[in-house]
Amino acid sequence: MLTSAGVFDIFPRLVCAGIGCIYGCSTGRLRRLSHNDIGITKGGKTRFIGVGTMLIDILTIFPKMFEDVLNTSILKIALQKGVVRIGLHNIRDYSTDKHRKTDDAPYGGGPGMIMTCDPVFRAVEAVRTAERKDSHLVLLTPQGRTFTQKVARELSQKSGLMLLCGRYEGFDERIRTGLKPDEISVGDYVLSGGEIAAMIVVDAVVRLLPGALGCGASTADESFENGGLDYPHYTSPTEYRGMKVPEVLLSGHHAEIEKWRREQARKRTRKRRPDLSDEQADDSDTQNGEERRD
Ligand code: ADE
C-alpha cells in the first residue's frame, strides 16, 4: 500500500524496497528513503513503477561510502528524475555469525583475510527479487576485464545491475565459480576495496542513461565515445593572461569549427594515446573508408 500517495504521484519512482536502502526523491530534495517513507512493499514483494528506469543494487560492507557520491551532481539529479534507482545493501546484514563477520583467514596460510561465501551468496540471493531477475551481476576486482567507455555503454543497456564490492585480500574463489559474475576492473592498480570501483561504474553508466544529463547535453562528443580523446574546449574570456581562444572558434563558421575540432581530437589522440589511434584506424578500415567523427 502506498502510505504517501501524493508524494508517490509526483515522483512515481520513489520506493522503499524493504531490503537495504533505496535512494530517491520524495519532496524534490534527494534523501535516503526510510522504510516509513513510502511503503509499497506488500506480502514481501516490492512494486516499482517506472518501466525503463534502471535499477542498480550495490552490495558492500560499507554502504555509507556511497551516500555523498549519490547525493551529488549528475547522480543526484538522475535519481531525482527517476532515471535510475539505486539500492544499497550491507553484506553484513546477511552474515549469520554473531559478530556479523564476512571474512576469514585463507586456507593454506598467507596474509590478509578473504571474503567468505555465505554472506555474499545470501546477500545476492536476497537482493535478486523478481524485479531483479535479469539484473546483471558484476564483481569489482582487479582481476576482471578492464572497464572502458564501451563496457559502460554495454552495461547501460541492461535493465539492472548488481554490483558486488569486495574488501580484504579478495573473495573466496567459490563466489566466482558459484555466482558467475561479470568480473570488472577499473584499471591496473589495486584499491582497498571494490567500493570506489563501483562508484566509477555507477557514474559512467548513469550519465549514459537517457534523461540523465540536462537538456541538450550529450555524451556523443566526449572522450572515448568515438574511439579517441575529446577536442580542446574554450569559454570566456577570449583572451586570458595572453592566451587566446583560437580564431576559428570565434568565426561563427560551423563547418570550419567542426573540422578544426575533428583535427584537434585526432592530433591529441595520436600524441597522448597512440593505442587509441591504432584502434581508430582499425575501426575506420572496417567501415569501408567512411569518415568517422573523431
Ligand atoms: N578492487 C580493488 N582494486 C580494484 C580495481 N582495480 N578494480 C575493481 N575493483 C577493485
The finding on whether 20 has its CB within 6 A of some atom of ligand 1 is no
Supply the pLDDT for residue 285.
45
In the numeric block, which cell numbers belong to residue 179?
555466482
Residues 159 and 134 sit within 8 Å (Cβ to Cβ): yes
Supply the pLDDT for residue 277.
83
Q: Which residue is closest in CA terms to ligand 1's atom 7?
A: 185
Q: Which residue is closest in CA terms to ligand 1's atom 4?
A: 142
Residues 158 and 136 sit within 8 Å (Cβ to Cβ): yes
Max Cα distance, the chain (Å): 70
Whole-angstrom Cα distance, residue 227 to residue 204? 16
Q: Which residue is closest in CA terms to ligand 1's atom 6?
A: 142
Task: List where CATH 1.10.1270.20 sits in the chain.
Answer: 220-294
Whole-angstrom Cα distance, residue 292 to residue 285? 10
Q: Which has the higher per-residue pLDDT, 1 or 203?
A: 203
The finding on whether 197 has its CB within 6 A of some atom of ligand 1 is yes
Give the 3-state secondary structure of residue 37: coil
The finding on whether 114 has its CB within 6 A of some atom of ligand 1 is no
C-alpha of residue 191 to centroid of ligand 1, in Å: 5
The finding on whether 185 has its CB within 6 A of some atom of ligand 1 is yes
CA-to-CA separations, 219 to 200, 207, 272, 289, in angstroms, rounded: 16, 8, 21, 25
pLDDT digits (tens, 9 = 90+) for 89-141: 999 999 999 999 999 999 999 999 999 999 999 999 999 999 999 999 999 99
Whole-angstrom Cα distance, residue 81 to residue 216? 16
Whole-angstrom Cα distance, residue 113 to residue 281? 46
Residues 232 and 271 sit within 8 Å (Cβ to Cβ): no
Residues 161 and 138 sit within 8 Å (Cβ to Cβ): yes
C-alpha of residue 186 to centroid of ligand 1, in Å: 6
Residues 227 and 201 sit within 8 Å (Cβ to Cβ): no
Residues 229 and 268 sit within 8 Å (Cβ to Cβ): yes
The finding on whether 141 has its CB within 6 A of some atom of ligand 1 is yes
What's the pLDDT band for 278 if we cut at 50, 70, 90?
A: low
pLDDT digits (tens, 9 = 90+) for 23-69: 554 444 444 543 333 333 344 444 443 345 899 999 999 999 999 99
**Residue 283 predicted with pLDDT over 50:** yes
Task: List where CATH 3.40.1280.10 sits in the chain.
Answer: 52-206
The finding on whether 60 has its CB within 6 A of some atom of ligand 1 is no
The finding on whether 190 has its CB within 6 A of some atom of ligand 1 is yes
Question: Is the domain covering 52-206 a CATH 3.40.1280.10 domain?
Answer: yes
What's the pLDDT band for 222 if we cut at 50, 70, 90?
A: confident
What's the pLDDT band for 220 if we cut at 50, 70, 90?
A: confident
In this prediction, residues 164-185 reach a mean pLDDT of 95
CA angle 194/196/202 to nearest 5° reads 100
Cα torsion 25, 31, 37, 38 to 10°: value is 30
- Which of 58, 167, 190 has the most ligand 1 atoms within 8 A of CB, as the residue to mutate? 190
Question: Is the domain covering 220-294 a CATH 1.10.3720.10 domain?
Answer: no
Supply the pLDDT for residue 288.
39
Environment class of residue 85 by beta-carbon count within 10 Å: exposed (0-12), middle (13-18) or buried (19+)? Answer: buried
**Residue 286 predicted with pLDDT over 80:** no
The finding on whether 112 has its CB within 6 A of some atom of ligand 1 is no
Closest of 119, 66, 118, 65 to residue 91, by C-alpha: 119
**Residue 201 predicted with pLDDT over 60:** yes
